[in-house]
Amino acid sequence: MGLYTSVKLASAQRRLVIELLGWYGFYVHRLLRFSFALFMLVLVCGVFPAGAADRLVWRGGERVDADINGWSLPQLLEYLAEHSGWQVFVEPNARLREPVSVKFANLPVGEALGRMLGELSFAVLPQVNAPARLFVFRTSIGDATQRVPPRELAAARPIADELILLRKPGSKADADELAKRHGAKITGRVNEFGAYRLKFADAEAARIARDSLNGNTDFNVDSNYAVPRPVATDPLAASSMAALTIKPDTSASSGQLVVGLIDAAVQKATPSSAFLLPGVSVAGEASAGSAAPTHGTSMFETLLRGLASTQDAGAASAVRVLPVDVYGDAASTSTFNVARGVVEALNAGASVINLSLASAGDSALLHNVIKQGAERGVLFFAAAGNEPTTAPNYPAAYPEVLAVTAGTRNGQLANYANRGEFVDVVAPGSSIIQFGGKTYLVSGTSASTAYVSGLAAGMKSSTDASAAAISAKLVETLGIKK
């Protein structure tokens, strides 16, 4: 897929710019005609007023109406981040000479952005299986480093045409018969928890079934929430990061400590594949390829960096990683499949479970699965999220989980990272990994989480301390500095 960017320069001359600078690590040429093509990766439809008379309407992500009077740049970008689904980055201290006051109808997105941003330059970077990124800057895209949070954190959105049935204790009712009676198909089961994923013809059918099932004596009704695929890694031109020096202990497998990595598929071509156990998928086979590391592969390598920090160079480790793919080739997964993935890891004997993913949806099924694992002494780590808000994300916000955010070694938070009462520890928000003979940068609370999971696995493997003791030690050493 090509990279299409649209830029308006201070001279008012518009040109199409294709470039990746700064931490992207490579440069490509500029084209001299202005045009804009925003791929179907961004499907936006919404109306969002800033005042009684102001409006900004996105028509399917392709055409825009605007009637804006006196918006500031932060106000405009916050609205874009909230409703477009884009990840928005701006050059620190960038300002408009005048507040945004424009009126137009039915303009292409690129032209609309040019009218609103005035003398500032911008670039839209579509991404595969991830939200597009909007960069706003004066001279170089590499200067747009400050993440703009959404104006308001979007409410959790259940998958509209699905429901989860949770069997009540003692019930012997037939879930298949109940699903059939309500015109639904059972598309997934977690038998250990009496959970069934129901698919309906449409959202209205699901709503009617929910109303009918409320108060059912045999089943509780839960929502199924989408969990977006985390952003992939970025290649670096060069790095001084040394390769991992730890190695797997090849003695009896009975002494292994298993870490469940609930994520996208992990590629077998990773240089540390000797630490991998045979993988499990609850979302079908993934065609990961070998051109670049998947998010799962990146988290695996980052986890081993955390593990290596607990051991002497060249030491042999009994830790093994069980990759559990909950995405397959899809752009997102669901809380139901995440719960299934955790069950697979628990059944395989995992003592540590890494969840470098996040959703605003509070799933009763996923929480029940985690509670049962925690009762067995399993350590859970989950990403706090990459929006600088205090709103909780799940599964990180469950009390049985250590929520990990990103920051510096002295406990200061990264400007893009979630914070709040539900967050327990802070860890480095970037990691450098190697894959296919190249070096890649991994960023975000996902990386922080994988690093802490590696720390915990090393501590558990070397000391056999209890989950409570390890959690307490991590909070003591990695807790957020007030």
Question: In 3D, which of 310, 402, 387 has the Cα closest to residue 355?
Answer: 402
> For residues 81 and 355, which has the higher predicted lDDT (pLDDT)?
355
pLDDT of residue 463: 92
Question: In 3D, which of 71, 133, 73, 79 has the Cα closest to residue 102?
Answer: 71
The rounded distance, in Å, linking the Cα atoms of 221 and 210 is: 7
The alpha carbon dihedral of 90, 94, 99, 103 has a sign of negative
- 432 alpha-carbon distance from chain centroid: 18
The rounded distance, in Å, linking the Cα atoms of 305 and 299 is: 10
> For residues 264 and 31, which has the higher predicted lDDT (pLDDT)?
264
Lowest mean pLDDT among 151-160, 229-238, 284-293: 151-160
Across 174-194, average pLDDT: 96
Structure tokens at 222: 């839960």
Write down the mean pLDDT value for the chain.
Answer: 83
Question: In 3D, which of 421, 427, 429 has the Cα closest to residue 390?
Answer: 421
**pTM of the predicted structure, to 2 decimals:** 0.71
CB atoms within 10 A of CB 31: 13
The rounded distance, in Å, linking the Cα atoms of 395 and 72 is: 35
Structure tokens at 343: 């069950």
Place of tokens 């706003």: 136
Place of tokens 């040394």: 242
Q: Which domains does the chain have, with CATH numbers?
A: 6-148 (no CATH), 162-224 (3.30.70.330), 228-478 (3.40.50.200)
> Can you say whether residue 194 is alpha, beta or left, with left for phi > 0 and alpha for psi between -120 and 50 degrees?
left
Question: In 3D, which of 304, 302, 297 has the Cα closest to residue 323?
Answer: 297
The rounded distance, in Å, linking the Cα atoms of 29 and 46 is: 35
Dump pLDDT digits (tens) for 39-75.
222 323 333 444 434 677 766 567 888 888 888 888 8
Query: Is the pLDDT confidence value at 423 over 60?
Result: yes
Which DSSP string corresponds to 425-474?
EEEESEEEEEETTEEEEEESHHHHHHHHHHHHHHHHHHH---HHHHHHHH
Question: In 3D, which of 226, 193, 225 has the Cα closest to residue 340?
Answer: 193
The rounded distance, in Å, linking the Cα atoms of 361 and 338 is: 12
Residue 99: cis peptide before it, omega within 30 degrees of 0: no
The rounded distance, in Å, linking the Cα atoms of 192 and 176 is: 16
Q: How do beta strands 100-108 and 63-71 pair? A: antiparallel
Dump pLDDT digits (tens) for 336-356.
999 999 999 999 999 999 999
pLDDT band at 454 (very low <50, low <70, confident <90, very high): very high
